[in-house]
Amino acid sequence: MEYKEIINRIKPEMDKVFVFLDKELAKVRTGRVSPSLVEDIIVDLFGERLPLKQLGVINTPGPREIAIQPWDKSYIEPIQSALSKTGIGANPVVDKDIIRIYLPLLSEEYRKELIKVIADKQEECRRTLRKLREDAWREIQDRTKEGEIREDDKFRAKDELQDLIDEYGEKIEKIGEKKSKEVMDG
């Protein structure tokens, strides 16, 4: 077995970590609202728990407004209830068969809290990447002891693993910086 097989096996897992971070940061509010702020909110509907995005059309007609048009009028009350229980900072208003959410401007204090949330999510992803690296390194060391991987390849593997961690760490840093800038500028 070559060490590259082990490294290639963790790359898709590292990609998943990055995609997860990207989706989580999309949920962090900036000055301009986005459907991603509410689309994954779970709605209790007739004994089922469904994400809001499966129950209607979500759009943003204005910079601080989210409009939800449910597929069926019977969904309005459960959706309104689910939205009221979230911490998005605004109460939903029913306007005929559309639910509207008007979000206030972000205060400086709230922006700083959002920056902390972004940093926490970044660190969570870095920890996951480090665990993936440690698991791969452990497997490489075990395979070296068993004679399946040469000693000099073991050290090449260690360098490649670190390069991979550095590459993904840089991606995590850039996406976090971009989102933080959006929060502070928005």
- The DSSP annotation for 98-131 comes to EEEEEPPPPPHHHHHHHHHHHHHHHHHHHHHHHH
pLDDT along the chain (186 residues), means of 10: 85 90 77 75 83 85 83 85 74 84 78 86 93 92 89 89 92 90 76
Give the pLDDT confidence score for residue 28 in this predicted structure.
72
Give the pLDDT confidence score for residue 30 in this predicted structure.
65
Distance CA 160, CA 7 (A): 8
Give the pLDDT confidence score for residue 31 in this predicted structure.
63
For the chain, the farthest-separated pair of C-alpha atoms sits apart, in whole angstroms, at 71
Answer whether 70's CB lies under 8 Å from 99's CB.
yes
| Three-state DSSP string of 139-177 | HHHHHHHCCCCCHHHHHHHHHHHHHHHHHHHHHHHHHHH
Among 16, 24, 173, which residue's Cα sits nearest to residue 181?
Answer: 173
> Which tokens go with 7?
């490294």
Domains of the chain, start order: 3-27+107-185 (1.10.132.20), 35-102 (3.30.1360.40)
Give the pLDDT confidence score for residue 42 in this predicted structure.
83
Answer whether 28's CB lies under 8 Å from 117's CB.
yes
Give the pLDDT confidence score for residue 136 in this predicted structure.
92
Dihedral pair phi/psi, residue 39, rounded to 5°: -60, -25
Answer whether 24's CB lies under 8 Å from 123's CB.
no
Give the pLDDT confidence score for residue 122 in this predicted structure.
93
Distance CA 62, CA 68 (A): 13
Q: Is 18 strand, coil or helix?
A: helix
Answer whether 67's CB lies under 8 Å from 58's CB.
yes
For the chain, what is the total number of helices (H) and then of strands (E)? Answer: 4, 6
Give the pLDDT confidence score for residue 186 in this predicted structure.
60
Give the pLDDT confidence score for residue 134 in this predicted structure.
93
- Is the pTM here over 0.85, yes or no? no
